[in-house]
Chains A and B, each alone.
Chain A
């Protein structure tokens, strides 16, 4: 603990000494602050964006009906009006309100200036809304003239929209919106623009009376859920009261329905996306991690640069603890200013990332819409703490260095710097690599929604990255040693010698770059492996001639399916030989959620091509259980890789499925069990297809058939195999947009760090350069030597980073993916990309060296 007088001294040194250095190297420190800002910003931006993109959880009606307290759902997340009739007794109680909800995604076709727009169509009993204590009655009026109650419901296809959506679609009262839903092209008429002065209504929300929406979605008699709103809102915080309400609700709840607090759904949905969000968070930490390396590097350089000053101060009696505190304070200020700036940067990045992430959540998990970005005080605190923590940790070693270096020794040794001894010792690095290997033995952590968190995998990744970063200095020295005998001329030899000396500055520069390079190489490898696997999967799996699905809806969680009547009509086409109709719904296993599909099991088993992990028939179906072909993810999640039984809740009670074969599937991470279509219909009470694969009689008429069907059914997407592949890969690329963006941010920070590192290296070698200059070393030679030095660092970082990246790629493909998502990918090493990456790193290193040396030279003049 510093005494007040010492603190004053620290403050004096900080203002008179440290900040003077900052002023003289303004650009340098601004860049450093910028790097911290980008690091903190990337983390905060992703945090905000993923929250905004995925925390809507699909309860879009809340903007109208307010927050609910409980949800009544069926295991397949679809209720029928018969279920509602069973709930009518429950609806008699005045202590709560039952709010039936139907929702679906529809696509507005070209309207106004908008090409296509995905809309969320919500159906509520507009009349019963008047009962709700939560209704924002002031702003939401459904009719101008309220003398007739039935005016509130609208007629036939009438809907209500908010002003924002009306502006976007350029529609007014009485105008029609043409849209696609359930395979049909239909129109809805704007009855009224809802008054929404507070802007609470999402800009994709279309509201209608419940039966109207059922009709517009071609889902007569269907509901998504029934929400329960307690009547006494002031008792929402009273857990005993809520518990009693829950108990009373459960007493009268029909057996095939489940009741859960609404916040559980939020938690479920949150858990569903937890792995996805964690991956992003870890990725977003690359920049901040590299930033910490750079602070370490910069402060260490500062200590060396200011060694004369330190020595003088020490000689004047300033003790080590004061110097330590001063340097730590410098790191603190860097971290503080950088983190504050990072909050702003985070907002900008979040703006850019949010729709990207919403698209991904929509495509992979459940229907969501972007909520307004909100910067909470927690975001600011987390950003500040993270920035300060990393900065202080990074500042610790240089501060200690400043304290421990004896003044006489420093003054006597010219530009010699002891550097960090730990960077020269391979033990720590090797130890971390071994520790990473051991971490692989850890089992995955099972999360709330039933998905797995590969804790050991992430730990191993962290250990390997840090270990290789620490060892990368040795790679640099080793490589320089190998290359040196082949160097011709003084410039190359000089660059090689300096690299071979391996100062801690050089080692730090390589280490910072290695962190970014290894993670980027690993991620690109995983994405490439994924892409390759999916292409392979496509080649095998998709052998039909035409594929049909609901038009306009691309997300996994927002499908309405195809109107069965429409499908029956379509299947009468004379050129259809066979149609493989697929139906899906969510199902509730003991933990989390999974997908239950109804298919032509015989066709799937005997004729459809699949990548089989276990051939049909290789597993013995358990007596009394329904035979199912299950996906690898399903088998891994529920431990039935070698056969067994999984119990699923269905609207007709608990049912048991038993795998008879296991196929590879990359559609979702929740797994899928495919049973016979007839049983599926019996269990779910539905006959709504999700997609159909058509095999044609006359293949020469493929295009003709496709075009004919397209004209006849404009609400359906009818694609051939090539078109389907393009769409699927488009979704695939979309899901990795954020990953790519984060990798690039990390890389950009690392490159900026390389520039800074090289500048520090040259700054530190002032005496050497001046001596060389006196000996006749020209400026151009100096610049070239610097460029070669930078290129050498780039090459070393590439070699060490690529080796680590390959290990990370293996880890991501064979451990993290298998444990997180339950699918095995074909490991693809993108050799060409890695080579190009090497060339890029060498080029950037060379360029950075040239730029830094030129700048340094310019400043010296």
Chain B
């Protein structure tokens, strides 16, 4: 615990890193994350309403005490800032117009090959709130809270038909800060940067109320907290993203920022997190993201490359590759908006020989179009 409470930020070296100084504000007028910022926790686990976009994201793999049942879960809370020109402090307590929240909760039942998900949109007020002082989120069906100054936190996610997952999440590694000088770059635009902090390995323990049954569950989870004001650079259509938790105690995070023409943006990256939360990474020219199989949604007719092979040149270990295979093909998250569907699902990680070496979550976003416009 001492280790965890002592924040450890490691410098990350990139072969191709090019520094672009971010502006103070985005073109919409929101603050832009600044370089060399040293976050202060637990305050920075809370909301940053002066910034345009922010999300809290948890994924993980769970199993019941007997080990018979396998589940994957995803719980995400997005925050989108309101009109920057609107005078602050205006509006109404229950129906504020300063912040918009989205709550996405999904549960993958590996044994029964089923997938439940739900989305809610809420403005700040009686159905959505996020503390600025600590992790204290309450957005539609998702609640997250962190007691005191520790890093152990509670997460409650709700699913259709009375389903509910209550987890206590305990980091086993310190929080990791990604990017050069503390800024994760998402495109050539100077404002396309974010503060990107992750707990890459959390011990998860709790209770799942599902299909009328109450089950004790344990597992490993991952948490991201990202803050920006212009998430995607111009000309980007979406991204493919994954977090892998390997059996050897290390983690890999990789993402491909897809351009409108289908190629990968140069700021696409792979990060390796070692057992002590040390981070190394490479940009697009040092890895490939190959689509090995695809799945077409019967609902949206969107085609997602759900089986991929990521081959990269590790800065010290040389070439490595990871194959991701979904535990269930239909893990498509259907939003309220027609163009808001994306695929986010539990996967297994295989090595070159087809041996399972870990578990992952894979996100395939922007295949329905429209995402770039909303995250610029």
Contact = CB atoms under 8 A, between A and B. Distances in A.
A214 interface: yes
Q: Which of A91, A150, A221 has the most CB of B within 10 A?
A: A150
Given A81-B94, A94-B141, A211-B95, A127 B127 contact: no
Contact of A93 (B92, B95, B141): B141
B162 A95 contact: yes
B374 A147 contact: yes
A125 B95 contact: yes
B97 A153 contact: yes
B161 A210 contact: no
B160 A95 contact: yes
A684 B123 CA distance: 29
Given A148-B83, A149-B100, A84 B158 contact: no
Contact of A150 (B82, B118, B374): B82
A84 B126 contact: yes
B127 A91 contact: yes
Given A127-B122, A131-B336, A248-B162, A91 B97 contact: no
B105 A209 contact: no
B132 to A, nearest CB: 19
A94 B100 contact: no
Contacts of B119: 131
B373 interface: yes
A85 B373 CA distance: 34
A17 interface: no
B140 interface: yes
B253 interface: no
Nearest to A232: B160
B253 to A, nearest CB: 29
B150 interface: no
B83 A81 contact: no
A489 B138 CA distance: 100
A220 B337 CA distance: 31
Given A94-B120, A127-B123, A128-B121, A150 B97 contact: yes
Contacts of B18: none
Interface string A202-232: 0000000111001000001100000000011
Contact of A214 (B92, B100, B160, B161): B92
Interface string B249-272: 000000000000000000000000
Interface string B136-148: 0010110100000
Contacts of A232: 160
A243 interface: no
A330 to B, nearest CB: 63
A131 B290 CA distance: 36
Interface string A131-156: 10000000000000001111001000
A71 to B, nearest CB: 18
Contacts of A150: 82-83, 86, 97, 100
Contacts of B118: 94, 231
Nearest to B90: A156
B92 A92 contact: no
B82 A91 contact: no
A81 B95 CA distance: 10
Given A209-B95, A211-B92, A232-B160, A94 B127 contact: no
Given A92-B143, A94-B105, A150-B82, A130 B336 contact: yes
B355 interface: no
A125 B122 CA distance: 9
Interface string B323-352: 000000000000011000000000000000
Contacts of A125: 95, 123
Contacts of B140: 91-92, 94
Given A131-B336, A209-B95, A95 B83 contact: no
A94 B121 contact: no
Most buried by A among B86, B91, B336, B374: B336
A87 interface: yes
B100 A127 contact: yes
Interface in B161-182: 161-162
Interface in A225-270: 231-232, 248
B160 A94 contact: yes
A312 interface: no
A200 interface: no
A780 interface: no
B160 A85 contact: no
B56 interface: no
Contact of A130 (B105, B121, B141, B373): B121
B80 interface: yes
Contacts of B122: 127-128, 131
Contacts of A374: none
B159 interface: yes
Given A130-B336, A150-B97, A81 B121 contact: no
B15 interface: no
Given A127-B100, A147-B374, A210 B95 contact: yes
Interface string A70-100: 0000000000010011011001111100100
Contact of A92 (B97, B158, B373): B158
Interface string B104-136: 010000000000001111110011000000000
A135 to B, nearest CB: 9
B126 A91 contact: yes
A649 B118 CA distance: 37
Contact of A88 (B80, B127, B161): B127
Contacts of A153: 97, 123
A94 B126 contact: no
A214 B122 CA distance: 19
B80 A94 contact: no
A211 B91 contact: yes
B158 A94 contact: yes
Contacts of B374: 147
A221 B126 CA distance: 12
Nearest to A86: B126
A87 B126 CA distance: 8
B160 A147 contact: no
A124 B120 CA distance: 16
B366 to A, nearest CB: 16
A220 B91 CA distance: 11
A93 B156 CA distance: 11
Nearest to A127: B123
A84 B94 contact: yes
B160 A127 contact: no
Given A94-B118, A211-B91, A128 B158 contact: no
A131 B126 CA distance: 15
Given A81-B94, A131-B336, A211-B95, A92 B141 contact: yes
A527 B158 CA distance: 60
Interface in B216-273: none
Nearest to A215: B92
A150 B52 CA distance: 13
Contacts of B143: 92
Contacts of B126: 81, 84-85, 87-88, 91
Given A93-B158, A94-B160, A150-B82, A128 B123 contact: yes
Contacts of A209: 95
Nearest to A211: B92
Contacts of A95: 160-162
Given A84-B94, A88-B127, 13 more contacts: A81-B92, A81-B94, A81-B126, A84-B126, A94-B118, A95-B162, A128-B122, A128-B123, A149-B100, A153-B123, A209-B95, A221-B92, A221-B94
Question: Which 3 residue pairs across A and B have the least CB separation, nearest first?
Answer: A94-B118, A211-B92, A81-B94
22 contacts: A88-B126, A88-B127, A91-B126, A91-B140, A92-B127, A92-B141, A93-B141, A93-B162, A94-B140, A94-B160, A127-B100, A128-B123, A131-B119, A131-B121, A131-B336, A149-B80, A149-B100, A150-B100, A211-B91, A211-B92, A211-B97, A231-B118
Interface of A: 81, 84-85, 87-88, 91-95, 98, 125, 127-128, 130-131, 147-150, 153, 209-211, 214, 220-221, 231-232, 248
